[in-house]
Amino acid sequence: MAVRTRSRTSLATIVLVVWLLIGVAAAFQRGYFGSAQPSCSRVGSAALTIIAGPLNYLGLDPEIGCSVPQPSN
């Protein structure tokens, strides 16, 4: 029984790592890592793209919009 649980855990770990690597490839293809000026929305969109992984290649295009409060004049 312990061997079966261990093999399921190993399979789940492998699937997770492959999923995230595909997400990193998608984020790289969209140019999220080449920006000289990281912004809140750019970092958020890159993180979401990595987490969405293979879903990006099925047409999902996750983007996050956020605004940072500006100081008053």
pTM of the model: 0.70
Find the helix or strand (DSSP H, E) in which 13 lies.
Answer: helix 2-29
Q: Could you give the CA distance from residue 47 to residue 49 in angstroms, rounded to a whole number? A: 5
For each of the chain's 73 residues, which pLDDT tens digit applies?
A: 555 677 778 888 999 999 999 999 988 888 888 766 777 778 888 888 888 888 878 887 767 777 767 777 7
| Domain range summary for the chain, segments of one domain joined by + | 2-58
Q: What is the DSSP string of 14-64?
A: HHHHHHHHHHHHHHHHTTTTS-SS--HHHHHHHHHHHHHGGGGGGT-----
